[in-house]
Amino acid sequence: MGGNIIGERFVAMSFGESHGRCVGIVVDGCPAGLSLSEGDIQVQLDRRKPGQSAVTTQRKEEDKVEILSGTFNGFTTGAPICMLIWNKDSDSRSYEAIKNIPRPGHADYPASVKYGGFVDYRGSGRFSGRLTATLVMAGAVAQKLLKQTLGVETVAYTSEIGGIKAKNITAANIAKRYDNDVRCPDPDAAEKMRDAILKAKKDGDSLGGIVECTSANMPVGLGEPIFASLESDISKALFSIPAVKAVEFGSGFEGSKRRGSENNDAYYIKDGKVVTRTNNAGGILGGLSSGMPLVVRVAFKPAASIAKTQDTLDVSTSEQAKLTVPGRHDPCVVPRAPPIVECVVSMVLADHAVRYGLIPPVLKRSG
């Protein structure tokens, strides 16, 4: 079995290529009785889609989802849910010119070797950020399932781009995170981030950054030690997003510099519930959810496809070459990443909730 399937009980299988006819996903294991429409999915796809501002790729894709199976009369049936979006604005001409000249920082060379030269190199094929649309489709289903059954809500936002960090992060600002081009809840930092991206773009370069994601109203006990701990499965899923290079939970790397007395989270009772005074663990202990908010940060590298001339190799001649990457690319992938991170985390949480028995195979009708 290849690497296109994720999950044990809430399972998703991604398909399609960046410049192929379509990209899509099949979700199996979603309970029957979930109210679900294409509009539920479209909300998150619209937040991810390209061509929305000067800080993203100018490839224009409508990204209109079609649900082909698994729903009837507005509810899921328990059958596999197949969803897809058609690729309508692909332009493969620029990739023909560089098919033998691997882009530094991209998967071109190892992919060509692994698949014996048969790999679809158009728009990076299966290795393109375009495929994150498939994760969003599955994750949007998971988000609605989690909210309806357990009240779990997951939100993500840009916390850093190019070394510029968000500081004024409040609940009110987080609610407005999609009101600016970079999806940052700190208005002042958002403006600086946008300026930094446009400067890098003007220089033919790119920037990286960090997305922070929080899941509230978490149940206690999600996770299956040892190799399917909640951290293990969330990390694996997040690393399926192109350009992700680091994942940390709670205090993360900063916690490694502290003493245990500083980093431990003290328990107490609040409103009859066991909680902790701090959340350095990020809501996970021993691979199990603790009931505290899940907090995870995801680091994205600068986009590999840049207009600045770089040194590379022509693999057809084994001679050194210069490369200026043509085409339409994101000068920073971070502004489009928050909905992707939200959806990927939600997929894993839904899978573990089903495995734990917290979500039944058939949902009761509301009202």
What are the DSSP calls for 258-298, one per residue?
S-HHHHPPPEEEETTEEEES--TTTTEETTEEBSSPEEEEE
Question: 275 pairs with which residues across the strands?
Answer: 268
C-alpha gyration radius of the chain: 21
At residue 366, the pLDDT reads 61
Which of 234-243, 267-276, 289-298, 303-312 has the weakest average pLDDT?
303-312
Backbone φ, ψ for residue 36 (5° rounding)? -150, 130
The tokens for 116 are 């014996």
* 187 in a structural domain: yes
In this predicted structure, the answer to whether residue 59 has a pLDDT above a threshold of 60 is no
The separation between CA 146 and the C-alpha centre of its own chain, rounded to angstroms, equals: 17
At residue 127, the pLDDT reads 86
* 57 in a structural domain: yes
Largest CA distance in the chain: 71
Q: Which of 305, 295, 104, 135 is nearest to 210 (CA)?
A: 295
At residue 32, the pLDDT reads 98
Coil, helix or strand for 304?
coil
* 367 in a structural domain: no
At residue 251, the pLDDT reads 97
* 362 in a structural domain: no
- Per-residue b or e along 96-115, where b marks 16 or more CB atoms closer than 10 Å to that residue's CB: eebbebbbebbbbeebbeee
At residue 50, the pLDDT reads 66
247 contacts 239 by C-beta, under 8 angstroms: yes
Tell me the per-residue pLDDT of 321-367, one tens digit each, with 9 for 90 and over: 998 887 678 899 999 999 999 999 999 999 999 999 999 999 987 64
Coil, helix or strand for 300?
strand
Tell me the per-residue pLDDT of 163-199, one tens digit each, with 9 for 90 and over: 999 998 999 999 999 999 999 999 999 999 999 999 9
At residue 8, the pLDDT reads 97
* 297 in a structural domain: yes
How many domains does the chain fold into? 1
At residue 230, the pLDDT reads 98
* Average pLDDT value for the chain: 93
Long-range pairs of 61-70 with CB within 8 A, sequence gap ≥ 24? 61/85, 61/87, 61/88, 61/89, 62/88, 63/133, 65/38, 65/41, 65/137, 66/38, 67/36, 67/37, 67/38, 67/41, 70/27, 70/30
Question: Mean pLDDT highest for which of 4-13, 81-90, 97-106?
Answer: 4-13
* 360 in a structural domain: no
Grade residue 52 by pLDDT with cuts at 50, 70 and 90: low
At residue 55, the pLDDT reads 80
Kindly report the number of other CB atoms within 10 A of residue 5's CB atom: 12
At residue 95, the pLDDT reads 77
Question: Any idea what the CATH number is for the domain that residue 169 is in?
Answer: 3.60.150.10
Grade residue 106 by pLDDT with cuts at 50, 70 and 90: confident
Residue 53's domain comprises 5-355
Percent of the chain with pLDDT over 70: 95
* 209 in a structural domain: yes
At residue 88, the pLDDT reads 84
At residue 1, the pLDDT reads 45
* 193 in a structural domain: yes
